[in-house]
Amino acid sequence: MGKDVIIACDFAGAEQTFAFLQRFGERRPFVKIGMELFYAAGPAIVPALRERGHRVFLDLKLHDIPNTVKKAMAVLSNLGADMVNLHAAGTVEMMQAAIEGLTRPDGTRPLLIAVTQLTSTGEEQMRRQLLIDRPMEEVVLTYAANARAAGLDGVVCSPLEAGAVHAALGPGFLTVTPGVRFAGGDVGDQRRVTTPEQAAALGADYIVVGRPITAAEDPAAAYERCVREFV
Ligand code: C5P
């Protein structure tokens, strides 16, 4: 399982996505499809990307009753996704059901990654609205431990948290980390950012990079720079 750069394809439709990916020539980067593009373009975008040679991370963050998640995960697995995710808040039982649903008849399955707490949620909101009265780090690491107990492969987290996750849950438990910017680059709405090089030094396994590549004048060059600095 290699370290890799995943491009967040936050586009409004399939046409734009394919036009963007055409700029990479023979290169076939690992791509992330989020809710917006998946709902706009429909599930067929996944096999279409796979046929072109891309690996696909479906960032759909499932969270429902175990039976529903199991069946939905089976659909995503059959589409040929390489990595999918869910909310660890759905419980260990939901996460175990997700693995069952994902596992194909031949025993293979996409990597399954958990979201612990969304980075848009602060400690104050957690306390007042979710009635979780614990420090953020404890919540994140406990949810990550639940994910590992359920048999998941890793978590989405900040590169700045990758070390703590690996220290608590082992080096083999994957960290998939957004919030990456080139040195001196535009931070945008991200708060705690690292460069690809720093993310590598902190032990991130996969970095998810959107605008530094999608908004670059030469996306292929920006991608290659990312790979050079990270891998
Ligand atoms: O453009 P940028 O590099 O900020 O894109 C990061 C991608 O990672 C986006 O698709 C964003 O939704 C996603 N993401 C994130 N922070 C999280 C989880 C997902 O930025 N905690």
Q: Ligand 1 mean position to 8 CA, how many Å?
A: 7
User: Which pLDDT score, from 0 to 100, does residue 109 have?
Assistant: 98
How do 30-34 and 154-156 pair as beta strands?
Answer: unpaired
Average pLDDT over residues 89-106: 98
Integer Cα distance of 214 and 211 in angstroms: 5
Q: Ligand 1 mean position to 150 CA, how many Å?
A: 25
Q: How confident is the model at residue 1 (pLDDT cuts 50, 70, 90)?
A: low
Indicate if ligand 1 lies below 6 Å from the C-beta of 16. no
| E strands present in 35-168 | 56-62, 83-87, 111-115, 154-156
Tell which one of 10, 37, 226 to mutate to probe ligand 1, the residue whose CB is within 8 A of the most ligand atoms: 10
Q: What is the pLDDT of residues 12-53, one digit of tens each?
A: 999 999 999 999 999 999 999 999 999 999 999 999 999 999
Q: What is the pLDDT of residues 204-225, one digit of tens each?
A: 999 999 999 999 999 999 999 9
User: Which pLDDT score, from 0 to 100, does residue 188 have?
Assistant: 87
Q: State the catalytic residues.
A: 61
Q: Ligand 1 mean position to 106 CA, how many Å?
A: 32
Helix 66-79 vs helix 92-102: crossing angle, to nearest 10: 30
User: Which pLDDT score, from 0 to 100, does residue 192 have?
Assistant: 84
Ligand 1 atom closest to the Cα of residue 181 is 3
Tell which one of 20, 120, 208 to mutate to probe ligand 1, the residue whose CB is within 8 A of the most ligand atoms: 208
**Would you say 36 and 12 are in contact if contact means Cβ atoms under 8 Å apart?**
yes
* CATH code of the domain made up of 4-230: 3.20.20.70
CA 64, 123, 155, 28: dihedral to nearest 10 degrees? 100
